[in-house]
Amino acid sequence: MSFPGTRINPPATSASTDLIAAFRTVVTPHISDNMGRHVGVRGLTRYNKSGKLVGTAFTVKTRPGDNLYIYKALTMLRPGDVLVVDAQGDTTNAVIGELIKLYALQRGCAGFVIDGAIRDVASFEATPCYARAVVHCGPYKTGPGEINVPVSIGGMVIHPGDIVVGDEDGLVCFPQAVAEDVLGMARNHEALEERVKAEIANGSPEQSWINNALSKAGLL
């Protein structure tokens, strides 16, 4: 029997390659705006200078400053997984660095989301990575931890198998069961913003998108 605190569960079903490819052209604000404008990860910094993060959440919960269960997770990663680590926000010790990054990439890892600290930060410039901080101090390897359980990352609960999307604006996650709906709403939002851009480009001081908002609030 597996008890809370030491559970190691198998990975959830991976998102389809078509779905992952579709979200590569969707920006996070268009997703966030269609999930109530309050859903998403906050407080993490993007350490890669280029590239987009899209993949299936492979979750790990660690004791602060410890990465033993991350080592175990590395042996279970599949192509397209995003290593999502709830290190409980601790920034005293880094839980991943360049060596873990290199091995994870060999296994097809799509990127990293760490609610804790990383080190060897320069090695992540071209690898999608979000973390709470950078520190030179390395981790301990004594455990305990959990693998493929719900985790809390920057105020958002992420479940194994959720789709993770990250860009220069931040991170959002959602269940695969609603992914098609999220994609459709994000596409519609993109089309709406393109119409607004065209209206701005026409140079008119009267803008319907401003007037509509003001009118709705009784300010017009």
The span from the CA of 109 to the CA of 94, in Å, is: 19
Token digits for 104?
């994870």
Contacts of residue 92, defined as CB under 8 A and 6 or more positions apart, other chains included, come to 64, 65, 117, 135, 137
Q: What digits encode the pLDDT tens for the residues 35-75?
A: 999 999 999 999 999 899 999 999 999 999 999 999 999 99
The span from the CA of 77 to the CA of 172, in Å, is: 21
Alpha helix stretches (DSSP H) within the chain: 17-23, 28-32, 68-74, 98-106, 179-201, 208-216
What pLDDT score does 2 carry?
Answer: 72
Report domain extents, the chain: 17-176, 184-216
Token digits for 128?
């999608």
Q: Cα–Cα–Cα angle for 147, 15, 180, nearest 5°? A: 130
What pLDDT score does 1 carry?
Answer: 52
* pLDDT cut 90: percent of the chain above it: 97
The span from the CA of 153 to the CA of 85, in Å, is: 8
Q: What digits encode the pLDDT tens for the residues 98-143?
A: 999 999 999 999 999 999 999 999 999 999 999 999 999 999 999 9
The span from the CA of 177 to the CA of 109, in Å, is: 22
Give the rounded distance of the alpha carbon of 71 from its chain centre: 20
The span from the CA of 91 to the CA of 119, in Å, is: 11
Domain 17-176 in CATH: superfamily?
Ribonuclease E inhibitor RraA/RraA-like (3.50.30.40)
Token digits for 78?
């599949």
* pLDDT cut 70: percent of the chain above it: 100
Residue type, 92: T
- In degrees rounded to 5, what are phi and psi of residue 69? -75, -20
Q: What digits encode the pLDDT tens for the residues 161-184?
A: 999 999 999 999 999 999 999 999
